[in-house]
Chain A
Amino acid sequence: MKGELEKNIVKRIKVNLDKCIGCRACELACSVFHANPKYSSVNPAMSRIQVVIDPLNDEYVPIRACDYSKAGCDGRRVYTINGKEYSECSFCGTVCPTRDLFKEPDSGLPLKCDMCEDDPPQKEPLCVQVCQVGALVYEEEEEEVEEEVRPDEMEIGLKSLIDKYGLEKLADTFARMSQKV
């Protein structure tokens, strides 16, 4: 999937763990913005940002959903920061089979952060807009990157279904269902 060099706006969300108060307003806002139709319902379990919280360990880590992977990591690091232990998973946005994070609760389909694409564009992603304490800060930067063809949301969903059920079964089901329509 190699492409040409092109100018690209890199969108960055800086996360300050020390500032996070664990309110999960970011989760709520993301789910509302991505509801279908837009704003129609609330469901943090559908959010593409999730705050990993362990109050007893004073751990508050907002992570955003990245790519889908059909396998979990086989080795995991544990980091100690300021005397507090964090699993590597606490910082990882990959949608993987080892946990329920970033999967639609009913279908199990993966969710992915799209930086709140909107028309007209939002001034900032919604999670950043609602994070009053400034734990999430949005930045844009121009960067030269090699163009890459990104799979769209349907493609990611289909891929995860293939991984789960196998291509053949999926194709069968697809064929069966299209006959019914």
Chain B
Amino acid sequence: MRYAETGYNLEIDLSRGNIERVETDPSLTDLHLGGQGANAKILWDRVPPEVEPSSPNNLLVFSAGLLCGTPVPGVTRTSVNTFSPQTNFFSHSTMGGFFAPELKHAGYDRIVIRGKAPSLVYLWINNDKVEIRDATHLRGKGVTETAALIREELKEPKAQVAAIGLAGENRVYTSSIGHGWSSAARGPGPVMGDKRLKAIAVRGTKDINIARPAELFEMCLRLAKEIYENPNVGDVMAVNEDDSFHHDNFAWGNARVRRKGYWTKELEERWRKLKYDHMDRQTGCYNCPKKCITVISYPGRKRFGYKCYAKDTYHMAAFQELDFSYEILGIAQEYGLDSYSTPQVIAFALELYEAGILTDQDLPGMPSDVRGRFYYLMEKIVHREGIGDVLANGVYWAARQIGKGAEAYDHNTTKKLEQIPIKLGRLNPLYFLMTATGEKMATTQIEGSFPQDPLPTREEREEFVRNWEAVPNDKLKQIFLEWEKRHEMAVEASCLICDWNEMMHYVDDAIGMCGFLSSFSGQHAGRPAYHINNLPYIISLATGMDLDKDGLWEIATRNRNLVRAINVRRGLRRKDERPPEDHWRVRDHEFEQKLLDAYYEFKGWTNDGIPTKKTLDKLGLNYVSEDFLRRGILTGNEGAPSKQTSSEKGDELKSRGC
């Protein structure tokens, strides 16, 4: 019997209308767990690098994490992976909610979608009964509207639905897939639209089996209580009304202006009132005691829910107040627009207009007030109409299509993807590494285990370290003990921390764990609910796998290297690993390159960021190294670090703080 997983994939060919249920190889679970790990393996095996994201041969894979549907609280993530038309790389995307456990109960670990439907369709998965159904009557319908209509037409109020809105249908690059109040951004939205797949509805009523059920269940009763009571996990922004952190430190407009001292107590009171006057309740995801989603009814708008920093992005991009976000979110979410990148695209366009690069001819009939302009541009983008057809490709591509100097206004993208709008003074070596090398192309998807800030006194640090259950090893404890200034972090320490932070995300994405309980939530108080020391046992109880800390770390490392390999095969190299030029005002390019050298070496990658044959083979990825040798990506002589001399390295490990 398979435990925690079902052992079956659903293979859908939209071009031919073919549906197959395929048993999976259990040894792949031992190697990659599930979720994004398993998806990476499928994309490596089945999508050669020459396949364009818009090709019918590009795959769109929805995968439940390995532990989704087990009693473990907070494992709610569906990994949605494909090749993104915006970056041409592996698209890392996850969504919370209720989709993953429902899929498991229907009897599938993942859905692999290829081809393109001749006209708009949706997929209906009802246990063993799977159909591709006409969706032309759902054309242009909003994300939650689509879900409601599908539930009604199927007479299945408990069906879980993931859908695209008009933005996805029109292949807007900054569109996302919506599921309830959760969404999967950064790539899969436009691909789903391109495949003419409006939605997937799932209902499952089968058992999920657990290897050591009584022990696991007892443990989960305790974990749920701990999670509920732990103020450091879940979305802290859902309960903390003091949001000075984002408003005083993040950049407004087109990632342009920092407004230090913007936040006041008066503002906080006013916004608190606005929130609670319009809030219906707070809710969350399947089998999780946290309430990260704030549900708002705003006059003239459909009810909507938001999470985290999504409530700030629109009004900060428009230099407005919270009421503007409330006003626009209800509409933007129904369109299925990602609220991280979309406001930046709009603010970028408005900057181009101010600069005279876009003119009244490009923006006919645009209103004069900023709120009106946001709505105007949003409509253009969603409909891909006029200039909207260009802006719908995201800031990077739009800048190049517009030309006339617009490229200079694209100052907040990395690997062609809009980044969180942070513009700081001094370089922080750890954040440099995370932003440069993160394959998920968003800092929030790589940071989170190591605390963001040092503690002021040695005594406090000692106290902290004594109770630090999440830390993987003594070396990292020592780093924290000796760490005094935020920006001063030695090269070796930066490498170790970056690696730890990243590995925890790779663990979470494979098992379906929510980062708010795990990989993202150690950075404030160091007290995540799940970590490298308790997860192996939990996974063992659920799956029956014989797994310890080193084993889990090795799987995460394998998945990480496989994702890198997928991108390397599509052309990713060191030259692409650049945070935005003005991310820090004061840069030290020489030092940054040394950081990269050291990190690549630490990871077992060549000086160009390619995993070496030795690294790959050690992880059992021989098929990757063979492919690299065949393609000439590796020559076979990359054993030793290529450029640096060891004496240089020794010096640098000792000194160079910031």
B217 at interface by CB-CB < 8 Å: yes
B144 lies within 8 A of chain A by Cβ? yes
Complex formed: what's the CA distance from A129 to B144 in Å?
A: 32
| Segment with Cβ contacts to B, from A35-43, A150-158, A173-181 | A35-43
Interface assignment of B208: CB less than 8 Å from any CB of chain A = yes
Is B624 interfacial (CB 8 A cutoff)? no
The reply on A24 being an interface residue by CB < 8 A is: yes
CA distance A25 to B213 in the complex (A): 16
Judge if B207 is at the interface, Cβ distance under 8 Å: yes
Contact: A21 with B207, CB < 8 Å?
Answer: no
User: Is A58 interfacial (CB 8 A cutoff)?
Assistant: yes
Is B283 touching A22 in the complex (CB atoms < 8 A)? yes
| Cβ 8 A contact of B303, one of A24, A45, A55, A105 | A55
Residues of B within 8 A of A46 (CB): 205, 207
Interface band, chain A: 20 to 34
Taking chain B's interface residues, is the majority helix, strand, or loop, or is none over half, making it mixed? loop
Residues from chain A with a CB closer than 8 A to the CB of B288 are: 23, 25
A31 nearest in chain B by CB position: B207
Q: B73 in the interface, Cβ–Cβ < 8 Å?
A: yes
Q: Are B69 and A55 in contact (CB under 8 A)?
A: no
Q: How many B residues touch the partner, as a band?
A: 35 or more
* A6 and B282 alpha carbons, distance in the complex (Å): 44
Given contacts A55-B181, A55-B305, A129-B221, contact A42 B71 (CB under 8 A): yes
Q: Does A132 contact B (CB under 8 A)?
A: yes
Find chain B residues with CB under 8 A from A58 CB: 280-281, 295, 297, 303
> Does A29 touch B at the CB level, under 8 Å?
yes
Bound Cα distance A35, B224 (Å)? 20
Closest to A55 in B: B180
Q: Provide the residues of chain B in CB contact with A32, threshold 8 Å.
A: 71, 213, 217
Residues of B within 8 A of A55 (CB): 144, 180-181, 283, 295, 303, 305
Name the residue on B nearest A106 (C-beta): B205
Chain A residues, CB < 8 A from B291: 21, 133
Across the interface, B207 reaches (CB within 8 A) one of A18, A38, A39, A41, namely A41
A68 at the interface (CB under 8 A from B): no
Cβ contacts under 8 Å, A35 to chain B: 207, 213
Closest to A22 in B: B283
Q: Show 16 A/B contacts (Cβ-Cβ < 8 Å), sorted by A.
A: A21-B282, A21-B284, A24-B98, A28-B71, A39-B210, A41-B209, A43-B205, A44-B105, A46-B205, A46-B207, A55-B295, A56-B303, A58-B303, A105-B205, A132-B227, A133-B228
Those 7 A-B pairs whose CB atoms lie nearest each other, nearest first: A105-B205, A45-B205, A132-B228, A132-B289, A41-B207, A39-B213, A58-B280
Taking A40-B209, A44-B105 as given, write out 14 further A-B residue pairs in contact, using a Cβ cutoff of 8 Å, ordered by the A residue number: A21-B291, A23-B287, A24-B287, A25-B224, A25-B288, A28-B71, A32-B213, A32-B217, A39-B213, A42-B70, A43-B205, A56-B302, A57-B303, A58-B303
List residues of B whose CB falls within 8 A of some A CB.
69-71, 73, 98, 101, 105, 127, 144, 148, 157, 180-181, 204-210, 213-214, 217, 221, 224-225, 227-228, 280-289, 291, 295, 297, 302-303, 305
